[in-house]
Structure 1
């Protein structure tokens, strides 16, 4: 049921598409007022970025929250403002999607592979722990939540190299089918190329 609701929300959203920088960029205005932007690689049609427009408590625009792809670079350190600088060694999570799997990369984790455990939890998260108690993180999986599924342990695998923990989650068939259906919708959209965009005349 959840998968059908998500598909319906995408189908009924106001969508505009443009080809820019070798990517197909699609803007969705959902019926509930939420805004989502997706970017697809032109050659492979693999999703490379998904972001949601964030609203503050008073309805003001507070920028975009990146769900898939590299996090937006933060504004330069507020060292003059706050006197605090975030350590460059802080673990950073980025997400990737391939045709068959969901992937998370957590950089700045220097511990050896046998220290980590990555588990599917009943609270619908994938949880990363280290036996040396140096790192703990619950990762939500919106792709699975949208189709009403919980993470399954047997679909999780991980590797560790270059101080980066790479977690791979094999997509369930329901998610693969849903993504194919949504991609068909997107490929049928009337798509402008960046060079076609005219400056609006008043």
Structure 2
């Protein structure tokens, strides 16, 4: 995939599409064996889920890794009292984009907004969230910008805090918006298998 733009990589992937429950689900199989699955809201064309799966060095199917959407829950049922589980009050980090922004939500952060500091770390191509009370720290990249080889721009970053949830927004650059529109046009050409609800 070296030398190809992200859009060219997407276009050359083997794609299958199904429509179910008001969502278009698209599965991509890339030439290097990686898989990507996306779910779009049919009405708004908003991306709800993006997850990745890689084969292990021995060729076995790996676990799906979430990039966008609710974190995958473990298969252990809540009645398993002997299973060690994360506390339900721990911070939950997830990405949930809008049409115009990349957006991350961190639930269960019970501190006032002025405790938070959110900034870009250009040398590491990361966004950093930290608290002045040293209770929370998170560093994460924006895979979409990395794949398109676009720089991080501090002026595109903003955050708000309400209902114990920190919402970090990053305005999508015009290159990303253009690529997303191009991808939607590409996906509309796919024949989608309709699965009745």
What TM-score does the superposition give when structure 1 sets the normalisation length?
0.89
The correspondence of residues 148-159 of structure 1 with structure 2, limited to 5 A, is 148-159=149-160
What does residue 82 of structure 2 align with? Answer: 80
What does residue 14 of structure 2 align with? Answer: 14
1:133-186: CA deviation from partner (whole Å, max 9, x where unpaired): 111100111011111113211111111111110011111111111111111101
Match of 2:70, SS state, is: coil
Query: Is it true that 1:193 corresponds to 2:190 in the alignment?
Result: no
* Structure 1: segments with no counterpart, 5+ residues: 196-202
What does residue 27 of structure 2 align with? Answer: 27
Query: Is it true that 1:143 corresponds to 2:147 in the alignment?
Result: no
Displacement of 1:3: 10
1:7-60: CA deviation from partner (whole Å, max 9, x where unpaired): 111000000111011100001001111100111100011111101114445432
Residues 48 and 3 of structure 1: is their aligned pair in 2 closer, same or farther, counting only changes over 3 Å?
farther
What TM-score does the superposition give when structure 2 sets the normalisation length?
0.91
C-alpha distance in 1 between matches for 2:183 and 2:10 = 8
What does residue 64 of structure 1 align with? Answer: 64
C-alpha distance in 2 between matches for 1:52 and 1:30 = 11
User: Are the equivalent residues in 2 in contact too, given 1:93–1:107 (CA < 8 A)?
Assistant: yes
Query: Is it true that 1:42 corresponds to 2:30 in the alignment?
Result: no
C-alpha distance in 2 between matches for 1:106 and 1:35 = 27
C-alpha distance in 2 between matches for 1:132 and 1:57 = 42
C-alpha distance in 1 between matches for 2:165 and 2:33 = 37
User: Are the equivalent residues in 1 in contact too, given 2:33–2:55 (CA < 8 A)?
Assistant: no
